[in-house]
């Protein structure tokens, strides 16, 4: 792994190149900065057009907390793939292995911009552990510790 600072941002095209997710489940819009092997700062622009808002909740739209955690995990995946100098493939999947200490401090609404800050805590036996914090206007809206693993897909499972 290389520890170098990526001072330029990543736009959505480069994010999609380093993330296996696709519409409607891509939950990061831009990477603001990244230090390979260490940390990523990304953003999610929350729009009223999100597919979950008509049902969560029609009278008071709120972004589901689990999707904020998922956005942090997607930022973590981009950081991990860039750190490994690899890209997602059809032969593997980047899975959640665990979520600990998830806390939701404030609701996130249409028009908000979430700043996602995810740090690698450790990598051990292929399991990546991260700490993530999501902020809107500088205020913490969610935080969690996450574990993810890159697993080969068994051809029989396809």
pLDDT per position as a tens digit, 124-156: 999 999 999 999 999 999 999 999 998 888 876
79 neighbors 33 (Cβ within 8 angstroms): no
145 phi and psi angles, rounded to 5 deg: -105, 135
Q: Is 13 a catalytic residue?
A: no
What average pLDDT does the chain have? 92
Distance between CA atoms of 8 and 33, rounded to whole angstroms? 7
120 neighbors 39 (Cβ within 8 angstroms): yes
Residue 5 pLDDT exceeds 60: no
Task: Provide the sign of the torsion angle of the four alpha carbons 71, 96, 85, 83, taken in this order.
Answer: positive
pTM summary value: 0.92
Residue 25 is encoded by which pair of tokens? 């489940």
Tell me the mean pLDDT in the region 101-110.
98
Phi-psi region of 126 (alpha: psi -120 to 50; beta: other; left: phi over 0): left
Tell me the mean pLDDT in the region 53-68.
96
Catalytic-role residue among 13, 18, 21, 56: 56
Superfamily of the domain at 5-152:
Hotdog Thioesterase (3.10.129.10)
Residue 70 pLDDT exceeds 60: yes
């Amino acid at each position: 792994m290389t520890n170098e600072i990526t001072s330029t941002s990543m736009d959505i095209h480069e994010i999609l190149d380093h993330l296996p997710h696709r519409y409607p489940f891509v939950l990061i819009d831009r990477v603001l900065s990244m230090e390979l092997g260490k940390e990523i700062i990304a953003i999610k622009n929350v729009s009223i057009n999100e597919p979950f808002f008509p049902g969560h909740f029609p009278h008071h739209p709120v972004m589901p907390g689990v999707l904020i955690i998922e956005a942090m995990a997607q930022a973590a995946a981009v950081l991990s793939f860039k750190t490994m100098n690899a890209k997602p493939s059809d032969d593997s999947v980047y899975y959640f292995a665990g979520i600990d200490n998830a806390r939701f401090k404030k609701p996130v609404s249409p028009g908000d911009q979430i700043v996602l800050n995810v740090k690698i805590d450790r990598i051990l036996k292929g399991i990546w552990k991260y700490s993530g914090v999501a902020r809107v206007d500088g205020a913490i809206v969610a935080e969690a510790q996450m574990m993810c693993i890159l697993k080969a897909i068994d051809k029989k499972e396809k």
